[in-house]
């Protein structure tokens, strides 16, 4: 589908008249959705109160109109709940979606990267600035690098894309510089 049609849908599905910054973001998102490349990651950044969550909601509604699927993710349960409320659909923690528990004889089960069975799906991750990629030897989850695991999971699916949304002014994840 042409980027102009997608942009018009994004604007229509926004709950307000887009600000100049939102319009610029919507133009770039429309271009990202219209391209058939599956190896690119779209990163949307903005300070608190700039309308990132409204833009996400518009993207989700537009993807539905275009008959494209989306999965909403956030690093914490609280962030997932807020995201789900704004987008009016379920949102999950990243850990819940991308990992599955591996059975263990000693009862100390670890979690391994699950298989991504999604097809033609946009994974939209809010509060992405909270995602750490610091390796943790004591981690029970995947490789111990959440960002690497997230990217590997998303792109192991068929024709899946990743949209990361965050605020660079927020505090970095615990344990990072």
What integer pLDDT is reported at residue 159 of this predicted model? 92
Please give, one letter per residue, the 3-state secondary structure of 60-79. HHHHHHCCCEEEEEECCHHH
CA distance 88 to 172: 28
Domain count, the chain: 1
What integer pLDDT is reported at residue 174 of this predicted model? 47
For position 121, which CATH number holds?
Answer: 3.40.50.300
Angle between helices 3-13 and 20-34 (to 10 degrees): 130
Residue 4 falls inside a structural domain? no
Structural domain including 76 reads: 38-166
Residue 171 falls inside a structural domain? no
Torsions phi, psi of 123, nearest 5? Answer: -95, 115
Residue 43 falls inside a structural domain? yes
Contacts of 149 (CB under 8 A, 6+ apart): 98, 99, 113, 141, 142, 143
pTM for this predicted structure: 0.88
R_g over Cα of the chain: 17
Q: Which of 80, 45, 50 is nearest to 166 (CA)?
A: 45
Residue 19 falls inside a structural domain? no
Residue 9 falls inside a structural domain? no
Query: Mean pLDDT in runs of 10 for the chain (177 residues)?
Result: 93 93 95 84 90 93 96 96 93 92 68 90 93 67 78 94 87 51
SS3 assignment, position 162: strand
């Amino acid at each position: 589908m042409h980027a102009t049609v997608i942009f018009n849908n994004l604007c229509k599905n926004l709950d307000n008249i887009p600000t100049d910054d939102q319009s610029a973001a919507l133009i770039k998102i429309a271009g990202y959705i219209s391209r058939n490349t599956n190896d690119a990651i779209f990163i949307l950044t903005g300070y608190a109160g700039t309308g990132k969550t409204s833009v996400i909601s518009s993207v989700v509604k537009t993807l539905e109109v275009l008959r494209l699927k989306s999965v909403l993710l956030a690093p914490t349960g609280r962030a997932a709940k807020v995201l789900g409320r704004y987008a009016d659909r379920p949102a999950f923690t990243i850990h819940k979606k991308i990992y599955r528990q591996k059975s263990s004889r000693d009862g100390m089960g670890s979690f391994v990267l699950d298989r991504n069975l999604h097809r033609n799906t946009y994974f939209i991750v809010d509060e992405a600035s909270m995602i750490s990629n610091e390796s943790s030897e004591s981690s029970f989850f995947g490789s111990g690098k959440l960002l690497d695991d997230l990217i590997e999971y998303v792109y192991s699916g068929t024709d899946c894309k990743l949209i990361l949304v965050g605020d660079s002014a927020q505090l970095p994840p615990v344990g990072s510089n």
